[in-house]
Chains A and B, each alone.
Chain A
């Protein structure tokens, strides 16, 4: 059968993909600009088809703790929110990381700080890749730049989360959540049976059977020596993820004199900037991090000797630019261009910024 091409919003694509990927549960709370995820799931009623549980929680805090409960049973569970709501989830995210539970979180970012605006932003970069909650932990962070990637990263997010027993997050922005594009949805996958979960997730709290000790899902350890060991184990895992799971895309980077680093909707806008520059005889390449953590530091560092300057273009006051600077370690000029508070720049605005800052 030919692949069916559908037209839908990024948020809707996430909902469809969740059902098709065999997700066991979604727990969410309405907040603009991502409410279509919960709305679409409620409309699709997957509990009547795949058996997936969908529940509107009383708060973002309750929703992330429902995710903790489901993940603790080895189920494939997810939640979604937007910036202020994701701030509320940070406690739960830290517990999930501390208990080494796989789950999928989606943040469709809007402008902040505070209640901010409902317009798109990328200002939660620091919160997502540098911590957010308390303690030394990392989130596997996927940054979609299209509705297709919104759909594809649901399955990928779950895959990575279960591979490493760690929360994964899709860090989208309001543009990607709200815009409509064509998308090919992933094929239907069956939800795992309890037997399969017991086999693949022997740590899951699904009821103690006679053949094993009790399973306890916890992040608590009062003995500092053991807690240090736990932390060392986390850090070893993070090192492996940094080595194995870096994903990025390079566009027009061969022979480029200047390099843009941009993710999400900004990467899409910068593709147009590159085309405009080409017409003016300026060679600009785009490196688009797909994983924001692990960050494609080595890939960016490879351009140190090749380009005259790098610009990090973000919908924020300069967050990812710090990681770009760390990657090149002062060997090439790195500038930042961004619009704030929900304003999305035009491609020619970006080109003007490149001319002003790098040329």
Chain B
């Protein structure tokens, strides 16, 4: 059989989402961001919201998220994405508004904005990439860095006496009356990817149904920052990250 006989529309089982453009990604090979970007693009397309989606990009590795998903974006100051999303959504209730943030952005410098946007029940989606490290700036300690985990600013491992404890911010958000859906997912296996996509879809639907704030945490790898191969990083995440950050819904109302 000739290859051209196989490449036919009726045989197509998978395609790149139209919203993902052809810009070469700056993410490291093995990084979780690419998969999550693709899922966000797919969900927006599946919902037919291409012209109504507005993304808020963070400061961190995903600072250039706006280069890859072909929708309108606002680039936030470090940590301020939920405040920006608050205004975008309140001023444009028919739009589908989401932030895309890392652990440093969301759980350190932007803690107040995260907590208060969720507590106000803003009809937005917060996508939270938790890889336990500051990737963009070269691998420093994050609020979510595990105890004993080595980073460039805790080179002898995170010491809780010096640095405090890993912050389970999704658990905090789940306590807030304004948050309707808080879930923790991952994208390290095909099954996990499918579940993560389902969670993102529900979060986006919540925002359009005015149910309140939805936070989707994706426990992720940063193999460059962790100084591992992508495969090692996935295994390390399963062994260590999931213990502190167990997957599943924390709240679903």
A65-B80, A207-B51 as given contacts; A220 in contact with B63, CB under 8 Å: yes
In the complex, A55 has a CB within 8 A of chain B:
yes
B72 pairs with A25, CB closer than 8 A: no
Complex CA–CA separation, A217 to B90 (angstroms): 18
* Option from A59, A77, A207, A214 in Cβ contact (under 8 Å) with B91: A77
* Option from B77, B88, B95, B116 in Cβ contact (under 8 Å) with A91: B77
A25-B87, A58-B113, A58-B116 as given contacts; A207 in contact with B80, CB under 8 Å: no
Nearest residue (CB) in A for B57 is A218
* Chain B: minimal CB distance from A299 (Å): 37
In the complex, B54 has a CB within 8 A of chain A:
yes
- Interface-lining segment among A67-75, A257-265, A344-352: A67-75
Complex CA–CA separation, A218 to B66 (angstroms): 10
Chain B contact residue count (CB 8 A cutoff): 32
A55 pairs with B90, CB closer than 8 A: yes
In the complex, A219 has a CB within 8 A of chain B:
yes
Chain A contact residue count (CB 8 A cutoff): 39
Give chain A residues whose Cβ lies under 8 Å from the Cβ of B76. 65, 68
A207-B72, A216-B75 as given contacts; A58 in contact with B112, CB under 8 Å: yes
From residue 67 to 93 of chain B, which have CB atoms closer than 8 A to chain A?
70-77, 80, 83-88, 90-92
A216 pairs with B83, CB closer than 8 A: no
* Option from B50, B57, B73, B90 in Cβ contact (under 8 Å) with A53: B90
Complex CA–CA separation, A72 to B53 (angstroms): 14
Mask: chain A, 80-108; 1 = CB below 8 Å from B; 0 = not: 00000000000110010001000000000
* Chain B: minimal CB distance from A220 (Å): 6
Mask: chain B, 38-63; 1 = CB below 8 Å from A; 0 = not: 00000000000011111011000001
Mask: chain A, 53-64; 1 = CB below 8 Å from B; 0 = not: 101011101110
Nearest residue (CB) in A for B55 is A205
Give 28 pairs: A residue, B residue, CB < 8 Å, sorted on A.
A25-B91, A53-B90, A62-B113, A65-B83, A65-B113, A66-B87, A69-B74, A69-B84, A69-B86, A69-B87, A73-B87, A73-B92, A91-B77, A205-B73, A206-B72, A206-B95, A207-B53, A207-B72, A207-B92, A207-B95, A208-B50, A208-B71, A214-B70, A214-B71, A217-B75, A218-B66, A218-B74, A220-B63
Binding site for A on B (CB under 8 A): 50-54, 56-57, 63, 66, 70-77, 80, 83-88, 90-92, 95, 112-113, 115-116
The 3 closest A-B pairs by CB, nearest first: A69-B87, A218-B75, A69-B84
